[in-house]
Amino acid sequence: MFPLPMHKGAREQCVAVICDKKSFDDLENGYKSDNQCADGAKLVDETIALLSSKGMSGTPTYLFPDGRFQSGVLEPDALRQRLGLPVPPGSLGTPSPAAPAPGAPASPAKKAPTAPPAPPKK
C-alpha cells in the first residue's frame, strides 16, 4: 500500500489493515481500527520510502516489465500498447490525460533507477 500524505489518515488506516490482517477489499470498504502495531507501521513506512526512492509520488503508478513507470491513469488502449498487447479493432483510442495533445512531441516514460551490479563472487 502506498498511502499519500494528502489523504488524511490513510497511513494509519493502512497500518491498521496490516496489523489486523485484513484484506485490500476491507480497506476499500472503509475498514476502521485504531490498531497501530509496530510491525504494520514499519512495513507501511518502508514501502513509502522504497517507492519514493524510485521516484514514484502518486497513484496509480504502473510499473512495466522494461523498468519504466507511468504515474497517472492510462486509458485501456494506451495500457495495452505499453504492455505490447493488441488494441482491439474499432476502439476509440482516446489519449490518457497524461498523453500529449495530437501533434505534440511525445515525452518518454520515466525509467526507474536500478540497483548497482553486485560485486563479483570470489
Residue 122 lies in a domain: no
Q: How far apart are CA 14 and CA 2, in angstroms?
A: 8
pLDDT at 122: 55
38 and 78 co-located in one domain? no
Q: For the chain, what is the domain count?
A: 2
pLDDT at 97: 46
Bigger pLDDT: 16 or 118? 16
pLDDT at 110: 53
Residue 25 lies in a domain: yes
Residue 121 lies in a domain: no
pLDDT at 38: 97
Spatial neighbors of 68 by CB under 8 A, at least 6 apart, are 108, 109, 110, 111, 112
pLDDT band at 2 (very low <50, low <70, confident <90, very high): confident
Average pLDDT over residues 4-24: 92
Average pLDDT over residues 31-57: 92
Main-chain phi, psi angles of 47, to 5 degrees: -65, -45
48 and 62 co-located in one domain? no
Residue 4 lies in a domain: no
Residue 118 lies in a domain: no
Provide the sign of the torsion angle of the four alpha carbons 51, 53, 55, 58, taken in this order: positive
Say what the alpha-carbon torsion angle 78, 80, 84, 90 is, to the nearest 10 degrees. Answer: -90
Sheet holding 110-111, edge to edge: 61-63, 68-71, 110-111
34 and 81 co-located in one domain? no
pLDDT at 92: 61
26 and 48 co-located in one domain? yes
46 and 76 co-located in one domain? no
CB 36 within 8 A of CB 11: no
64 and 32 co-located in one domain? no
Q: What is the mean pLDDT of the chain?
A: 80
Residue 20 lies in a domain: yes
Residue 42 lies in a domain: yes
pLDDT at 37: 97
CB 96 within 8 A of CB 72: yes
pLDDT at 101: 41
Q: What is the pLDDT of residues 54-101, one digit of tens each?
A: 888 888 888 888 888 888 899 999 999 888 899 988 776 544 444 444
Domain that holds residue 43: 10-53
